[in-house]
Amino acid sequence: MADIQRAQHLQIQNRWLKVIPPARGTNELGTTILCLHGWTGDEHSMDVFVRRLPDTCWILAPRAPHSAPEKDLQVWLAHLALPRRSVNILGFSQGAAMALTYTILYPEQVNRVAALSGFLPEGANVALQAGRLSGKTLFLAHGVRDEIVPVARAHESVELLKSAGANVLLCLEKTGHRTGIACLQGMIDCLTAPQ
């Protein structure tokens, strides 16, 4: 499990980034997971999910807001001397919407996505041409009692993402605006599967 105590807080080009490197003795060039928090959260809000990830991953958790995340991600990878290969993205609520949007706009930079209690923003269908997300695995988790983002938004997102060629896995649980135990396991499986 990822050790929150190893977290470093860096300021890179006026942006705060929480970084948790892999544990010593593990593959230091392991999977990189970008964690995007929701509207009222910060980089620490994602700790509830991060604690469940293996300690073989690089974990990057920026503090929002971000006006140009595609540039930020490349700057962070360069600053940390991490390979500029595709990353996995974990997002919650508005962070999930950002993760899905980023994947649509820059599919070559993303390997897998776990979008928890999120949605595709209005107008996303314009950028979702057939085949745009071919080969991408996207895991969506949603509470059927979600009072903030109705579960209907998850079903709409699944159909749109599938129409663009993505392999979409949907996990529904009898929760509100949070992620249940079964869906947490699905998130871990998605983000840590071999690339």
Q: How confident is the model at residue 14 (pLDDT cuts 50, 70, 90)?
A: confident
Q: What is the mean pLDDT of residues 20-44?
A: 81
| Per-residue model confidence (pLDDT) at position 68 | 53
- pLDDT of 194 higher than 80: no
Question: How is domain 4-192 classified at the architecture level of CATH?
Answer: 3-Layer(aba) Sandwich (3.40)
pLDDT tens-digit profile of 121-170?
Answer: 988 888 888 889 999 999 999 999 999 999 999 999 999 999 999 999 99
- Chain segment 120-131, per-residue pLDDT in tens: 998 888 888 888
Residue 74 pLDDT grade (very low, low, confident, very high; cuts 50, 70, 90): confident
Is pLDDT of 104 > 80? yes
Give the chain as a 3 state SS string: CCCHHHCEEEEECCEEEEEECCCCCCCCCCCEEEEECCCCCCCCCCHHHHCCCCCCCEEEEECCCCCCHHHHHHHHHHHCCCCCCCEEEEEECHHHHHHHHHHHHCHHHEEEEEEECCCCCCCHHHHCCCCCCCCCEEEEEEECCCCCCCHHHHHHHHHHHHHCCCEEEEEEECCCCCCCHHHHHHHHHHHHCCC
Q: What is the pLDDT of residue 138?
A: 97
Percent of the chain with pLDDT over 90: 53
